[in-house]
Structure formats: C-alpha cells, structure tokens
C-alpha cells in the first residue's frame, strides 16, 4: 500500500478529530446536545491525566505524558512497518489517534473530550474521535490476532 494512502489516513483522522474538538470547544462548552437517548455531545472536559483522568494530580504530568506518547508513537510506527497489510492499517489508525491526542496535549495542556455514552444508568468515560480510533484499532488487532492464533 502506498505511503500516500497512509498519509491520507493520518490526515483524515487527525483533521476529523481536531475539527470535532474545535467545534466542541467553540459551540458546546459546558452545555450538551442529546444526539440520541444514550449519546450526548458535551459538556467539554480537558483531560490532563491519562485514561479517565487518572494521575491528573501529579505535577508536570502533561510533560511526562507528552514524552511517553511521543515514544509510543515512534515505537508503534516501527511495528506498523513490520506488520502485514491489515495490521499496518490498524497500527496507522492507532498512531493517527495518538498523534491527534498529542497535538491536543501541546495545544490545550490536556486532551479535549466531549462524547458521552450512557447505557441505562451506567455512564461511560467521556472520549473523543481519536480515542475511538485508538480503541477500534486495538479491538480489531486483538480480534484478528486471536483468530490467527486459534487457526494454528
């Protein structure tokens, strides 16, 4: 697959994510829009920690996470080049999501989250488009590798 296609994947994911975060910051703020009964857009949260806001209380955590995220993206890109075609696509989608969140950490000293899903009384942690790309690519990689493992 051409390098241009991978660059297009990065461009589309990063643009969608950053544009959605810009929209959320500009138009949502502390309000929310109920899209359907279990999906709300907003209110906007700036996650200065890691997943679910953990470790937010640690001084200079944003700089530590910036360095860790950068190293993680470099390592993932290395492994993406070594995988087969399908695995490469999943890895590049994951890296694009990580890079978009890295851009957020630089711009906002945290990650902008605004998508909120509810199932009954259970409320999932608030997330964004980049988090969705990361999660979906990890699920696809794990399911694909599990199928390959059990076929052997």
Closest CA to 102 of 93, 91, 110: 110
Strand order across the beta sheet in which 39-47 lies: 33-36, 39-47, 111-119, 122-123
pTM of the model: 0.81
Write down the pLDDT at residue 67.
76
Dist. CA 146–CA 125, nearest whole Å: 27
The answer to whether residue 113 is catalytic is yes
Dist. CA 17–CA 132, nearest whole Å: 10
Q: Are 4 and 92 in contact (CB under 8 A)?
A: no
The residues of the chain scoring below 70 in pLDDT are 1, 50-62, 66, 77-83
The answer to whether residue 131 is catalytic is yes
Domain ranges of the chain: 3-151
């Amino acid at each position: 697959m051409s390098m241009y296609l991978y660059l297009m994947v990065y461009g589309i994911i990063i643009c969608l994510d950053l544009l959605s975060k810009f929209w959320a910051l500009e138009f949502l703020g502390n309000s929310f829009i109920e899209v359907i009964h279990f999906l709300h857009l907003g209110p906007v949260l700036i996650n200065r920690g890691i997943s679910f806001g953990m470790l937010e209380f640690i001084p200079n955590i944003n700089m530590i996470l910036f360095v860790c995220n950068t190293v993680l993206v470099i390592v993932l890109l290395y492994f993406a080049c070594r995988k087969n075609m399908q695995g490469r696509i999943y890895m590049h989608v994951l890296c694009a999501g990580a890079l978009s969140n890295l851009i957020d950490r630089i711009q906002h000293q945290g990650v902008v989250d605004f998508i909120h899903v509810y199932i009954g009384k259970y409320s999932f942690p608030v997330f964004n488009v980049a988090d969705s790309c990361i999660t979906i690519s990890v699920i696809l990689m794990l399911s694909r590798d599990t199928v390959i493992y059990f076929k052997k």
